[in-house]
């Protein structure tokens, strides 16, 4: 369980293909990394992953690996294994060395719930349609698959790349094609399905704090993002659907 309040960002330093997926190594704040035990859950860009352990990255290795971020005394490398399904259903399949990702360890007892309850199970991917700035606030419009629009309501909650955000506007499918953007290998069917079913969209406002402490500031038009809708909305809609079905059978 997570809250959508990003505690640190990390940088991808290595990816390695495997028979059933890919290993990925991420450099992040050692204070955060040390709290994550082997086998512990971590949300990386909103995707719940299992940590395979961590090790220190010495300052001398920064120059060798040409990392952009200035080193502290040392940092930590977190290692994760990504299954084929994760690579296909999330943006992690397109992550490469040097990319910055949002990092949030699992929620613990007594920790403030600043965002909302998040499972880390991505419901789908969205595409950034538009980014604008009004009155020193950055607004972002994101296209999403038709199936997700039923869970999106103004002033409701949504997760974008692991960040808990409040929805400003939400609209039903417009039957418009998605903004063209390269897809990770194996996702052509996802694009075809979206174009056939049509898409909806929602907008969010990004505060200066969010822009400073997450990777959302780096997003551009046509970029893909991980989307998780409010789990309470999913449960409620499922309950109402089951209730309606039972009443219809009587």
Q: Are residues 56 and 86 in the same domain?
A: yes
Measured distance CA(95)–CA(87) in Å, rounded: 9
Q: Are residues 198 and 232 in the same domain?
A: yes
- Please write the tens of the pLDDT for every residue from 33-80: 888 888 999 999 999 999 998 766 555 554 555 544 444 444 688 999
Which pLDDT does position 146 carry in this prediction?
Answer: 84
Residue 223 Cα distances to 75, 109, 175, 211, 227, angstroms:
29, 35, 19, 16, 13
Instruction: State yes or no: pLDDT of 169 exceeds 70.
Output: yes
Residue 3 maps to a domain: no
Highest mean pLDDT among 78-87, 106-115, 172-181, 240-249: 78-87
Residue 152 maps to a domain: yes
Residue 183 maps to a domain: yes
Q: How large a percentage of the chain has pLDDT more than 90?
A: 55
Measured from the Cβ of residue 224, the count of other Cβ atoms closer than 10 Å reads 24
Is residue 228 within 8 Å of 158, Cβ to Cβ?
Answer: yes
Domain boundary residue among 39, 72, 105? 105
Q: Are residues 16 and 99 in the same domain?
A: yes
Residue range(s) defining the domain that contains residue 194: 124-237
Nearest to 140, CA basis, from 179, 114, 168, 101: 168
Measured distance CA(96)–CA(160) in Å, rounded: 19
- Please write the tens of the pLDDT for every residue from 191-207: 555 545 567 899 999 99
Residue 73 maps to a domain: yes
Q: Are residues 218 and 134 in the same domain?
A: yes
The pTM of this model reads: 0.80
Measured distance CA(157)–CA(83) in Å, rounded: 28
Measured distance CA(94)–CA(163) in Å, rounded: 19
User: What contacts 217, CB < 8 A, 6 or more positions away?
Assistant: 138, 206, 211
Instruction: State yes or no: pLDDT of 115 exceeds 80.
Output: no
Residue 98 Cα distances to 9, 14, 27, 59, 69, angstroms:
12, 9, 10, 17, 10
What is the mean predicted confidence (pLDDT) over 207-229? Answer: 96
Which pLDDT does position 238 carry in this prediction?
Answer: 78
Which pLDDT does position 70 carry in this prediction?
Answer: 44
Element counts in the chain: helices (H) and strands (E): 6, 12
What's the total number of domains in the chain? Answer: 2
Domain boundary residue among 42, 73, 105? 105
CATH number for 74? 2.40.30.20
Measured distance CA(21)–CA(173) in Å, rounded: 33
Measured distance CA(151)–CA(124) in Å, rounded: 12
Residue 244 maps to a domain: no
């Amino acid at each position: 369980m997570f809250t959508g309040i990003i505690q640190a960002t990390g940088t991808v330093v290595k990816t390695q293909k495997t028979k059933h997926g890919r290993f990925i190594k991420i450099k992040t704040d050692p204070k955060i990394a040390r709290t994550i035990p082997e086998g512990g859950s971590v949300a990386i860009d909103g995707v719940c992953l299992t940590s395979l352990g961590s090790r220190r990255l010495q300052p001398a290795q920064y120059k060798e690996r040409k990392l952009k971020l200035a080193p502290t005394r040392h940092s930590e490398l977190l290692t994760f294994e990504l299954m084929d399904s994760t690579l296909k259903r999330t943006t992690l399949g397109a992550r490469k060395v040097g990319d910055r990702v949002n990092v949030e360890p699992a929620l613990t007892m007594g920790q403030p719930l600043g965002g909302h309850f998040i499972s880390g199970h991505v419901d789908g991917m969205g595409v950034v349609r538009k980014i604008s700035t009004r009155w020193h606030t950055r607004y972002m419009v994101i296209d999403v698959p038709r199936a997700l629009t039923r869970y999106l309501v103004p002033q409701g909650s949504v997760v974008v790349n692991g960040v808990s955000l409040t929805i400003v506007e939400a609209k039903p499918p417009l039957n418009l094609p998605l903004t063209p953007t390269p897809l990770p290998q194996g996702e052509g069917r996802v694009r075809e399905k979206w174009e056939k079913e049509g898409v909806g969209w929602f907008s969010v406002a990004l505060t200066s704090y969010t822009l400073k402490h997450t990777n959302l500031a780096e997003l551009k038009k046509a970029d893909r993002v991980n989307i998780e809708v409010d789990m309470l909305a999913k449960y409620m809609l499922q309950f109402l659907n089951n209730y309606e079905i039972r009443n219809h059978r009587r």
